Structure 1
Amino acid sequence: MTGKTILRGQVLSFARSPFEGAPADAVQVDEAVLIDGSHIAAVGTLAAMRAAAPDAAETNHGAHVILAGFVDAHVHYPQTAMIASWGKRLIDWLNTYTFPEERKFADPAYASEIAARYLDLTAAHGTTTMCSFCTIHPESVEAFFSEAQARGQRVVAGKTCMDRNAPEFLRDTAQSAYDQSRALLQKWHGVDRISYAITPRFSPTSTPEQLDAMGALWAEHPDCLMQTHLSEQTDEIEWVKGLYPEARDYLDTYEQHGLLGGRGLYGHAIHLEKRERDRLREHGAGLIHCPTSNTFIGSGLFDMAGLMAEGQRIGLATDTGGGSSFSMLRTMAAAYEIGQLRGVPLHAAQLIWLATQGSARALRMDHQIGNIAPGMEADLVVLDLASTPAIAQRSAVADDLWEALFPTIMMGDDRAIAEVWIGGRRV
């Protein structure tokens, strides 16, 4: 459907960050939203929407909540088939599960199969945009972008670059990483709703020469995003110190090679030193919180409150398949639990913001996605606040919207997703 449509329900939008002032005061609740083609035309009262588009089709979602589609700011779509693999620390987990699975993506047919499966699974959970690592194989990028393009979906991805400390079958070189990344970038970046992210996996699997090459490519294409990993586990940090003895800290291994910037996305960022925090804030870089992954692999507890208070730019992510769920609802629940463990519980409005506007802001796409406002792209999710008997009996006695919504955040899954819209089309 690409004409005009009015969706009725509890339409939630953000006027500002709920981390600034009282969280609930950052949110506006309207009666209806008008979709015109691929974009949101208006938000407001049902009467106003009907007056603006008297011939529009209309769907009444009753007490359901209508939100911007979820934005997952750090995923590995090639790890779809090996999600929830048992019991390893990061390095062992990569060698045991991840690298053997990623080897299969040299096969374009397999890459296409998993890309389609991944986008089906995430759409079922209400995720409309994600930023994904692919594998070293250009075929993995082609498959993901082709599948997303066919769906009219806004996505970000890039060829993962590794030239050491990985199996030989998953290594490229500094030159081939540059050449292949550049060719993919030139083919795909800015086509339809597709953006390219320059993607060195992390410092341990790239030589300084490869990081230099990626930094050079980013300097040539500064409108691209750059994604990598930073300070996920303490033993990983010690490994980095051994590999880069001249670096001041983990972040410096990127900074020295031109890989620190405002369009940089740094996954995990748990165990940061003060200098790193200061430099990330100065650049306005994106720090991506991956709570289910951090608990599943035993990495540590992200300092949401402290980093937000510093003015850091923070997004939320599942980190499929180090993360143990495709669901951004489950990811919000895990972020809440980690906040509790650090003594700072997050309000439901803050959790929703992180999964929508916060992640879009980290991706520098908050002018396009992540909120419901006129001119924004029509990526929407409709939440049923009574999707299971357990959730229904709790929400039924709620005193306000936030108390009604919170059980769905904590206990909801794909059954809570009543409807999903991508680019103005119901999927």
Structure 2
Amino acid sequence: MPTTKLILGQTLRFTGDPFAIGVEAAQHITHGAVVIRDGKIVDVGAADTLRTAYPQAEVTDMGAALLMAGFVDCHVHYPQTGIIASWGKRLIDWLNTYTFPEELRFNDAAYATEISELYCDLALTNGTTTAASYCTIHPQSVDAFFTAAQKRGMRMVGGKTCMDRNAPDGLRDTVQSAYDDSKALIDRWHGVDRLTYAITPRFSPTSTDDQLAALGGLWSERPDCLMQTHLSEQLEEIAWVRDLFPAAQDYLGTYEAHGLVREGAVMGHAIHLTPREIDRMAERGVSVGHCPTSNTFIGSGLCDVTGLHSRGIPVGLATDTGGGSSFSMLRTMAAAYEVGQLRGTAMHPAQLLYLATVGSAKALALHDKIGNLTAGNEADLIAIDLSSTRPIAQRSARAADIWEAVFPTIMMGDDRAIAGVWVGGAAVPRP
């Protein structure tokens, strides 16, 4: 008989979309509990009620900590873990100066394993229980990432980055090897345990039409996979795409021409979109990974999150490690709030928490499995200490409601605020 676990604390879950229906979409219980059995959430409700209903349950009391779904980071580059917070360059310079030299090191399987282990540990320390990562062109970088995730029981998304031009020697594959390597990795990893494969052209400037077509063909053969790439991050990048693809209608058109624009596509950034691109993304069910810390760190621009969301485009939140400047989804929510302010569309704490959980899970087509405290979902959850530091504690002590209590942690919190993490119902040892 599987052990039934009862975790006590404040609980927060979503019954709808706070962008559409407001704060009423969030359900908060001050003295709540989550029931877990066999890696799944069985029940969520008032603590007294669930204590009575499950008298034999193994109890973990998290006090006044806020229990919610683990964070879902929908766009990261785990191979850039070691170069996070490298001094500011524009996108193309940053790739050439920092990213490509570091990614060359992943030809060494032992190094790929070392960084994969480190990244997964850092993610969990920060309350991130699922991430979608670009690997490198080396198949062993995918093997290392999925092996590290599998060892920890994590639900993770990843894929071999494909580039057949405009990249250094040692970081280019070919049309055929991109197809063959990706197909072999799909066969080896996709759907194994809690792992999902994402076909991964880095972005149009580093793939020829032939390579994009080959990857589009592979996706048509394996439509159950995801597809992740970058779109309209910086104005210089968009101009470069225009030069490289003079026949394309726009940046999105470079992917659309090759069958890479449909539901299951996750576009990182999507800042400088044309009206046609927005219309087409909405029509085709394309998702966006919003990366606010990298967009400000590299000076890319301010994504119109609420505008995209209003068009029905699924938007998730992402750290974009290591162009993003933090592993923390709390810090990323703070940056998203600041970006929204600069756009004149300040986001409510409920909307920020939604983006970091349900929103990202929807962007990755995993919302039927993770991202919310819902009976039947996999039991990936976190406990957030709303008084983790002295500055946060003194502010939250003045709170009139849960949103005033949680907002200081969103704006000033870090890994110290993560009081507990459970992956598949199993408690993760704290460092």
Distance in 1 separating the partners of 2:82 and 2:167 = 20
- Partner residue of 2:24? 25
Which secondary structure does the structure 2 equivalent of 1:375 belong to? Answer: coil
1:241 paired to 2:242: yes
- What amino acid sits opposite 2:8 in the alignment? R
Cα deviation, residue 51, structure 1: 3.0
Cα deviation, residue 47, structure 1: 2.8
Which secondary structure does the structure 1 equivalent of 2:20 belong to? Answer: coil
- Partner residue of 1:104? 105
1:13 paired to 2:42: no
**Could you give the per-residue CA deviations for residues 301-353 of structure 1, whole angstroms, max 9, x where no partner exists?**
00012112222111110000000000000000000000000011100000000
- What amino acid sits opposite 1:172 in the alignment? D
Distance in 1 separating the partners of 2:53 and 2:198 = 39
Which secondary structure does the structure 2 equivalent of 1:140 belong to? Answer: helix
Residue pairs, 1:200-279, within 5 angstroms = 200-279=201-280
- Partner residue of 1:148? 149
Aligned-pair identity (%): 63
Cα deviation, residue 48, structure 1: 2.7
More divergent stretch after superposition (97-106 vs 304-313): 304-313
**Could you give the per-residue CA deviations for residues 164-209 of structure 1, whole angstroms, max 9, x where no partner exists?**
0000110000000000000000110000000100000000000000
1:58 paired to 2:59: yes
- What amino acid sits opposite 1:281 in the alignment? A
- Partner residue of 1:41? 42
1:369 paired to 2:365: no
1:182 paired to 2:183: yes
Cα deviation, residue 37, structure 1: 2.0
- Partner residue of 1:196? 197
- What amino acid sits opposite 1:26 in the alignment? A
- What amino acid sits opposite 1:244 in the alignment? F
Q: Could you list the runs of 5+ residues in structure 2 that have no partner in the other structure?
A: none
1:159 paired to 2:160: yes
**Could you give the per-residue CA deviations for residues 71-125 of structure 1, whole angstroms, max 9, x where no partner exists?**
0000000000000000100000000000000001011100000000000111000
Distance in 1 separating the partners of 2:88 and 2:421 = 34
Cα deviation, residue 408, structure 1: 0.1
- Partner residue of 1:384? 385
Residue pairs, 1:319-358, within 5 angstroms = 319-358=320-359
Distance in 1 separating the partners of 2:93 and 2:339 = 24
Distance in 1 separating the partners of 2:282 and 2:108 = 40
- What amino acid sits opposite 1:15 in the alignment? T
Aligned length: 425
- What amino acid sits opposite 2:18 in the alignment? P
Cα deviation, residue 46, structure 1: 1.7
**Could you give the per-residue CA deviations for residues 33-84 of structure 1, whole angstroms, max 9, x where no partner exists?**
1011201010112233223321111122222100100000000000000000
Distance in 1 separating the partners of 2:308 and 2:142 = 32
Distance in 2 separating the partners of 1:376 and 1:257 = 35
Distance in 2 separating the partners of 1:358 and 1:79 = 24
- Partner residue of 2:173? 172
- What amino acid sits opposite 1:295 in the alignment? T
Distance in 1 separating the partners of 2:413 and 2:305 = 22
Cα deviation, residue 395, structure 1: 0.3
More divergent stretch after superposition (28-37 vs 146-155): 28-37
Distance in 1 separating the partners of 2:374 and 2:178 = 39
Distance in 2 separating the partners of 1:290 and 1:371 = 21
- Partner residue of 1:130? 131
1:405 paired to 2:392: no
- What amino acid sits opposite 1:27 in the alignment? A
Distance in 2 separating the partners of 1:209 and 1:230 = 19
4+ long deviations beyond 4 Å: none
Which secondary structure does the structure 2 equivalent of 1:170 belong to? Answer: coil
Distance in 2 separating the partners of 1:21 and 1:76 = 33
Q: Could you list the runs of 5+ residues in structure 1 that have no partner in the other structure?
A: none
Which secondary structure does the structure 2 equivalent of 1:245 belong to? Answer: coil
- What amino acid sits opposite 2:376 in the alignment? G
Instruction: Report the TM-score when normalising by structure 1.
Output: 0.99
Instruction: Report the TM-score when normalising by structure 2.
Output: 0.98
**Could you give the per-residue CA deviations for residues 218-272 of structure 1, whole angstroms, max 9, x where no partner exists?**
0000011000000000000000000000000000000001111110000000000
**Could you give the per-residue CA deviations for residues 343-385 of structure 1, whole angstroms, max 9, x where no partner exists?**
1110000000000000000000001000001100000010000
- Partner residue of 2:300? 299
**Could you give the per-residue CA deviations for residues 107-153 of structure 1, whole angstroms, max 9, x where no partner exists?**
11000000000001110000000000000000000000011011110
Which secondary structure does the structure 2 equivalent of 1:103 belong to? Answer: helix
